A and B are shown apart, each in its own frame.
Chain A
Amino acid sequence: MSQQKPLTGLRVVEHATGVAGAWAGRLLAAMGAEVVMAEPPSLCPLRHEAPLLEDGRSALFEYLAADKRSVICDLEIPAGRDSLSALLEDAQILIDDTPVALRARQGLDPEGIAARHPHLVHLSVLPFGATGPKAGWTGTEINLVHAGGEGFLLPNGLSADLFPDRPPLKIAGHFAEMQGGVAAALAGLSALWSGIGQFVDASVQDANVAVGAFALQRYGDGSVEHRHTRSFRYGGVIECRDGYVELLTLEERQWQALVRLMGHPGWAMDEALDDPATRSARGDEINRAIRAWAHGHDVEELVTRAQELGVPMARYNAPEQIVTGRQETARGLFQTLPGMDGVVVQTAPFRFADAPLELRRAAPEAGQDQALLDLEDSRKPRRVTA
């Protein structure tokens, strides 16, 4: 029996070349929506995006397109636009990341879509949104993580201490674009909840401004953050004998537990350190002691003992430690899909009830589901230029 999922019965058409739009579609697919990628004859460029698996397939695409269907649809010609229109008749959400300037030509302008499909939630997902002075701007991950404010604040902590003169840093992978995808999916489902067919204009930059909220709040409070000064006064990235851990003690009881974990060393018995403000002021000295102590311990042993004592500490997991991790395995977080030869994908960032969401299929071959287009159109030879 197939799993009951929250969005069963929802049909989404995804016309996306970027990670943000594709991630929005992927999240909806994981929750049970039928998501149909409408690819151009040149195919979705994410099919070739790094990281690549040994057989040349894109790991990124396998991850982003899992559980989706694919049709090829040439929106530069009337027949292709008609096909898309037919597909949209049965859809509730259209995800589109076509640049604003190209939309009308491809039949994707909000006015045209609203006239033909008034019931539809037309979800636009663009780097800087579809309206506003910078609606025409383009951006890839590195531009967007810096347009949203977080890039300027990275790295902090140990990296910033070690390399103060280096340029600021992006977060690995597609963090910023995926924020755009999550926010877009939330906006799309919220619009659908309202029962009003409408144009929803999501922006990757805005999503990153939103998740970086505290920088703006602190600016308003008169404090300007900088990567060189926003490090935790003590704790942070700590090197152990065989890897790194993260340590953060916000609460008094957590600090006391850390002292216990370290075996009540003499320096920590200084009564002055009972005062959090003093600890903050003497953070460098405390961290030198913590780092010297941690160097003599293995990560696994330390994290286990720390968590037993109530000290917030975590291992900096390498990817292979995550895909085989005990917690992840226990929760069925990863799934091997048919034809994937042992390659796994994370199913979703959330679950409903006690079981993980199950993906139904691996990422589609291009045009694999061409029969979803109307019958007459599906008999025509496909024009693939990829």
Chain B
Amino acid sequence: MKPLAGIRIADFTVHAAGPFCTHMLSQLGAECIKIESAQRPDIFRKPHAVYGRAGPATFDQVASNKLSVRLNLKHPEGIALAKRLVAQSDVAAESFRAGVMDRLGLGYEALRDVKPDIVMTSVSSSGQTGPDSHYAGYAPLFGAWGGLGYLTGYEDGPPVEMRHVMDHSVGMNAALATVAALHQRRRTGQGCHVDIAAREVASSLAGDALTAASGGVAVKRMGNADPQRAPHGLYATRDDDRWLSVSVSSDAEWAALARLMGRAELARDTRFAAAPARVAAREEVDRIVSAWAALVEAEQAAAALQQAGVAAHVSWRACDIARDPHTRARGAVVDVTETCGRQRKAVGFPAMFSGSDAPGMERGTPGLGEHEDYVYGEMLGIGRAERARLVEERVIY
């Protein structure tokens, strides 16, 4: 069995952050029922021109492995049906703007009435409370609010916008908090309302800088530099747009790098031998490493540096990740087969388990309403005639 086998999630989440949460839980073995309506499908099912692409940006990955039902939450009977679904679930997850679930009649109190130990997971931009709780946002805004955007960037340049890694990072945190809440339920018999504010996830990822700032330390953008390490950066190699990341954390590593560069004497050079000196002479150190890197093949150099105990890796593109034997062997990259038979690559769960079945995906992207026979028929026991009526009256819609 997968680790979370037996857990069922009523999934009201939309966009990327919330769906990534339930997607991770689904890969871990939870049964995840995605609830949408034809009237208002998850907006990530459709393309957005602002991205400059014709197809939907992101839906396939986070919808994979989920079951799909249609349900019209604007209809009173739709709300009643939603409650019946929740009553048979362990988790209800949502990512609407704060207050929307309450207005729909599906707030935590209402869900607790139908399932006293429900774990409700709410993902929002700024949290369920506070003066900004009504704010709308997407990944780049979360990063901006939370400080990651301000702190990322070249020293002489503007802030940098965080993209979908920000959304997914919110989802990963939400998944963690949800499983923690399930542990609490197991221990106490009580559910709870889990509140994940995306901007607070962003600020948690810059927490060291925030703590430093509160102590009066000036914190600013510093590009790829590290206050305690040199060399530390991205170096252009002989091939176009092929960059090698190198990070030297100790004097022994510097000596190893110097030998590898064919310049063993640099390990004894007092200008560079000790870390503080190298940091002070960062630009000169970078010139030396850059001159060497410009002639090397990136992957071979990374492997040689690793062999010598120096932290290095090529700046990888998606194609590098997709064909890497290591990520493949670990199930970090997997193949998913769609209902139509088409195979595509997707990311798996980022850990392996020795005693449980491996996390992963058995199904691709669900069609809208694809699993209503199981969910409405088998699970809720709604007969064919009644279902036909609910479809006719646009409750199941």
Task: Check if A221 is an interface residue, CB within 8 A of chain B.
Answer: yes
**Complex CA distance for A264 and B207, rounded to whole angstroms:** 40
Number of interface residues of B (CB under 8 A): 151
Closest A residue to B59 by CB, please name it. A217
Residues of chain A within 8 A (CB-CB) of B197 are 331, 350
Residues of chain B within 8 A (CB-CB) of A178 are 204-205
Report the number of A-B residue pairs with Cβ-Cβ less than 8 Å: 532
Knowing A248-B50, A349-B201 are in contact, say whether A193-B131 is a contact too (CB < 8 A): no
Task: Check if A87 is an interface residue, CB within 8 A of chain B.
Answer: no
Interface residues of B in 351-367 (CB under 8 A from A): 351-356
**Complex CA distance for A212 and B332, rounded to whole angstroms:** 11
Partner of A52, one of B5, B140, B217: B217
Stretch at the interface among A71-79, A277-285, A378-386: A277-285
Knowing A216-B318, A217-B345, A233-B49 are in contact, say whether A200-B354 is a contact too (CB < 8 A): yes
Partner of A317, one of B146, B165, B353: B146
Which of A194, A206, A213, A342 is the most central at the interface, judged by chain B CB atoms within 10 Å of its CB?
Answer: A213
Partner of B243, one of A52, A168, A317: A168
- A216 to chain B minimum Cβ distance, whole angstroms, is 5
Knowing A159-B158, A230-B163 are in contact, say whether A313-B355 is a contact too (CB < 8 A): no
- A49 to chain B minimum Cβ distance, whole angstroms, is 7
Flag if A202 contacts B210 (CB, 8 Å). Answer: no
Query: By DSSP majority rule, is chain B's interface helix, strand, loop, or mixed?
Result: mixed
Closest B residue to A187 by CB, please name it. B351
Residues of chain A within 8 A (CB-CB) of B28 are 186, 190
Knowing A9-B187, A146-B315 are in contact, say whether A31-B180 is a contact too (CB < 8 A): yes
Residues of chain A within 8 A (CB-CB) of B326 are 128, 132-134
Task: Check if A170 is an interface residue, CB within 8 A of chain B.
Answer: yes
Flag if B311 contacts A143 (CB, 8 Å). Answer: yes
Flag if A248 contacts B164 (CB, 8 Å). Answer: no
- A281 to chain B minimum Cβ distance, whole angstroms, is 9
Partner of B332, one of A150, A203, A235, A323: A203
Flag if A140 contacts B352 (CB, 8 Å). Answer: no
Closest B residue to A147 by CB, please name it. B313
- A306 to chain B minimum Cβ distance, whole angstroms, is 9
- A164 to chain B minimum Cβ distance, whole angstroms, is 11
Flag if A198 contacts B203 (CB, 8 Å). Answer: no
Flag if B209 contacts A54 (CB, 8 Å). Answer: no
Residues of chain A within 8 A (CB-CB) of B219 are 51, 319
Knowing A152-B317, A327-B126 are in contact, say whether A244-B159 is a contact too (CB < 8 A): yes
Partner of B329, one of A110, A131, A154, A330: A131
Residues of chain A within 8 A (CB-CB) of B347 are 209-210, 212-213, 216
Task: Check if B284 is an interface residue, CB within 8 A of chain A.
Answer: no
Stretch at the interface among B65-73, B188-196, B388-396: B188-196
Residues of chain A within 8 A (CB-CB) of B147 are 317-319, 322
Flag if B50 contacts A159 (CB, 8 Å). Answer: no
Residues of chain A within 8 A (CB-CB) of B168 are 210-213
Number of interface residues of A (CB under 8 A): 160
Flag if B208 contacts A139 (CB, 8 Å). Answer: no
Residues of chain B within 8 A (CB-CB) of A8 are 184, 187
**Complex CA distance for A18 and B162, rounded to whole angstroms:** 24
- A97 to chain B minimum Cβ distance, whole angstroms, is 13
Knowing A187-B353, A221-B55 are in contact, say whether A143-B208 is a contact too (CB < 8 A): no
Closest A residue to B335 by CB, please name it. A220
**Complex CA distance for A166 and B192, rounded to whole angstroms:** 48
Flag if B228 contacts A49 (CB, 8 Å). Answer: yes
Task: Check if A197 is an interface residue, CB within 8 A of chain B.
Answer: yes
Task: Check if B325 is an interface residue, CB within 8 A of chain A.
Answer: yes
Residues of chain A within 8 A (CB-CB) of B221 are 172
Closest A residue to B306 by CB, please name it. A137
Task: Check if A265 is an interface residue, CB within 8 A of chain B.
Answer: no
Closest A residue to B130 by CB, please name it. A330
Chain A, residues 228-271, CB within 8 Å of chain B (1/0): the string is 01101111110100001110111100100000000000000000
Partner of A133, one of B162, B224, B325: B325
Residues of chain A within 8 A (CB-CB) of B172 are 179, 182-183, 186, 207, 210-211
Residues of chain A within 8 A (CB-CB) of B199 are 327
Task: Check if B154 is an interface residue, CB within 8 A of chain A.
Answer: yes
Closest B residue to A135 by CB, please name it. B326
Residues of chain A within 8 A (CB-CB) of B1 are 194
Top 6 A-B pairs ranked by shortest CB distance? A198-B355, A319-B213, A172-B151, A206-B350, A187-B351, A276-B49
A selection of 20 A-B contacts at a CB cut-off of 8 Å is A31-B180, A51-B217, A144-B313, A167-B236, A169-B152, A171-B165, A205-B332, A210-B348, A220-B344, A236-B161, A250-B43, A315-B144, A319-B151, A319-B209, A322-B203, A326-B130, A327-B130, A343-B214, A349-B173, A352-B193
